[in-house]
A and B are shown apart, each in its own frame.
Chain A
Amino acid sequence: MVESIQKLGRTGIEFISALGRSGVFLLRAIMGLSFTRKGVGLLVKQFYQVGVLSLIIIIVSGMFIGMVLGLQGYSILVDYGSEQAVGQMVALTLVRELGPVVTALLFAGRAGSALTAEIGLMKATEQLSSLEMMGVDPMRHIIAPRFWAGFMSLPILAAIFSAVGIFGGMLVSVDWLGVYDGAFWSNMQSAVEFDADVVNGMIKAVVFGLVVTWIAVFQGYDLIPTSEGISNATTKTVVYSSLAILGLDFLLTAVMFGGL
């Protein structure tokens, strides 16, 4: 009994302390961005690693999700004779919800886990220590470029996801199932509002980008430098990010669309 209370207390203290560490860490990662030639070079390299290399999975998934939405939307709407509305349904679902959420989930699995493992391995092999001893701040040289690249890539990836998804939905409903394409596009145009839907979707993507990259980079930097520690931290990145994305999505949706 006493032991379990002690354990609870210890877990609580550890949680609070990790929260504090990660908060300080976030600030230093944000401040660590530099616009010297070297700093920009590092950032571009990470943009490639984190963003460009995630493009394939984002495009393929967006395509399939859009196609599924087109099929499902059509089969539901056709019963009411309103299959022209499929365009607006696909677009709204993607722009408001699936674009940011699925992109963020995929991003956590593809780029987030890679960031954690990479930074963790650098820690385990003392590369971070040796940077420090060379007088190069690993926060600036390693952490900040990765953090910023991840954080800025996600909204762009989410936009690409939605665009590809809409294209996939059109392929299925217009080219395959024969929905009139004029109605498909004009319904979509009149239903999707820029500030209500597009901007809100982008805000979600920005928030998810911040949270996922923060979790990934912090888990890598804070892990216990052993092979077991690295595998634990990689798992934690994916699990915590996914939970955070879904939880935050509910909160944001409630605020943006739920009239809260």
Chain B
Amino acid sequence: MSSYIEVENLSFSRGYRKIFNGLSLSIPRGKVTAIMGPSGIGKTTLLKLIGGQLRPEGGRVLVDGQDFQTLGRDELFKARAKMGMLFQSGALFSDLTVYENVAFPLRAHTKLPEDMIRDIVIMKLNAVGLRGARDMKPSELSGGMTRRVALARSIVLDPALIMYDEPFAGQDPIAMGVLVQLIRLLNDTLGLTSVLVSHDIAESLSICDHAIVIADGRVIGAGSPEELRRSDSALVKQFVNGLPDGPVPFHFPARDYKDDLLGVDDSDLLGLGGGRG
């Protein structure tokens, strides 16, 4: 199994908080890989590190054998044209219509004639079920529609790699079903590599070929969905079954709950108590 993305010993922090400390994982080529983990664990951050938007503090990230940190600005932008990313918020351009949003990457990177651009845009919008919304402005769309337009935009250049950040959030069951099929279909027909980040465990496990579970800045389980479901690691079990209690903490690191409620002075605890709770 050849890997498309190789993350080696990656470390990264935000402020004083270490988000990744020696994270290593690999993402197979041509498959749908789901990266799952509790909220705030750094999934979006990981995608930005893969896309070269953030610079790792240690270790490296190879995408198709290429380390983006060694590229110049222009080369980096050229390399990125081969990847699509669906942002958690959609990130549509608010001054452009839906049609122009989807056409944007085509206009930026190709010299296709206008009627060809039109055909491609209409096809991609049709695939996400929003052909009829082409003249709307992003401010007129619902959250779920925004994300589907963003999806159409991120696949319009037929990239070799596509990263989805929470594609299922805010989708009704029908749209969800269509999206799941679409992600699968895109992956299989275009032969691209898909990375999907989500805490929607059931949906993710149902479409992915390979799943990686992250918690505490490291990989706690990886394998096929079947392997994960059968894993005997307590961490993975808790996550796959969605149990609130277990080794994966539900709480953001904080001091002791009782002390917090009783209002025990912060400064006494900061030195010793930071990790409790």
Q: Does B80 contact A (CB under 8 A)?
A: yes
Specify the main secondary structure of chain A where it touches its partner. Answer: helix
Docked Cα-Cα span, A132 to B91, in Å, equals 12
A230 to chain B, nearest CB (A): 14
Are A132 and B104 in contact, CB atoms less than 8 angstroms apart? no
Are A126 and B89 in contact, CB atoms less than 8 angstroms apart? yes
Q: Does A130 contact B (CB under 8 A)?
A: yes
Chain A contacts of B85 at CB under 8 A? 130, 133
Encode A107-137 as 1/0 by CB contact (under 8 A) with B.
Answer: 0000000000000011001110110111111
Q: Does B39 contact A (CB under 8 A)?
A: no
Are A133 and B80 in contact, CB atoms less than 8 angstroms apart? yes
Are B79 and A125 in contact, CB atoms less than 8 angstroms apart? no
Are B87 and A126 in contact, CB atoms less than 8 angstroms apart? yes
Q: Which residue of A lies closest to B82 (CB)?
A: A135
Are B104 and A134 in contact, CB atoms less than 8 angstroms apart? yes
Q: Does B73 contact A (CB under 8 A)?
A: yes
Are B108 and A130 in contact, CB atoms less than 8 angstroms apart? no
Docked Cα-Cα span, A129 to B51, in Å, equals 10
Chain A contacts of B108 at CB under 8 A? 134-136, 141
Are A135 and B80 in contact, CB atoms less than 8 angstroms apart? yes
Known: A134-B105, A134-B108. A129 touches B87 (CB 8 A): yes
Docked Cα-Cα span, A241 to B257, in Å, equals 47
Docked Cα-Cα span, A137 to B48, in Å, equals 16
Are B83 and A133 in contact, CB atoms less than 8 angstroms apart? yes
Q: Which residue of B lies closest to A136 (CB)?
A: B108
Are B93 and A127 in contact, CB atoms less than 8 angstroms apart? yes
Docked Cα-Cα span, A125 to B89, in Å, equals 7
Q: How many residues of B contact A (CB 8 A)?
A: 26
Number of A-B residue pairs, CB cutoff 8 Å, is 54
Contact of B109 among A129, A132, A135 (CB under 8 A): A135
Chain B contacts of A126 at CB under 8 A? 87-89, 91
Are B77 and A137 in contact, CB atoms less than 8 angstroms apart? yes
Are A137 and B73 in contact, CB atoms less than 8 angstroms apart? yes
Q: Which residue of A lies closest to B150 (CB)?
A: A130
Q: Does B78 contact A (CB under 8 A)?
A: yes
Q: Which residue of B lies closest to A140 (CB)?
A: B77
Are B78 and A135 in contact, CB atoms less than 8 angstroms apart? yes
Are A134 and B80 in contact, CB atoms less than 8 angstroms apart? yes
B189 to chain A, nearest CB (A): 22
Are B51 and A133 in contact, CB atoms less than 8 angstroms apart? yes
Chain A contacts of B51 at CB under 8 A? 132-133
Q: Which residue of A lies closest to B53 (CB)?
A: A132
Q: Does B81 contact A (CB under 8 A)?
A: yes
Docked Cα-Cα span, A133 to B51, in Å, equals 7
Known: A133-B51, A133-B53, A135-B109. A125 touches B77 (CB 8 A): no
Docked Cα-Cα span, A125 to B108, in Å, equals 20
Chain A contacts of B91 at CB under 8 A? 125-127, 129-130
Q: Which residue of B lies closest to A132 (CB)?
A: B53
Docked Cα-Cα span, A135 to B79, in Å, equals 7
Interface centre among B48, B91, B107 (most CB of A within 10 A): B91
Docked Cα-Cα span, A141 to B107, in Å, equals 12
Q: Does B241 contact A (CB under 8 A)?
A: no
Chain A contacts of B73 at CB under 8 A? 137
* Known contacts A133-B53, A133-B85, then 4 further A-B pairs from the complex at CB < 8 Å, ordered by chain A residue: A121-B94, A134-B81, A135-B78, A135-B80
Chain B contacts to A: CB under 8 angstroms: 48, 51, 53, 73, 77-85, 87-89, 91-94, 104-105, 107-109, 150
Listed from nearest, the 6 A-B pairs whose CB atoms lie closest are A135-B81, A130-B91, A126-B91, A135-B80, A133-B85, A135-B77
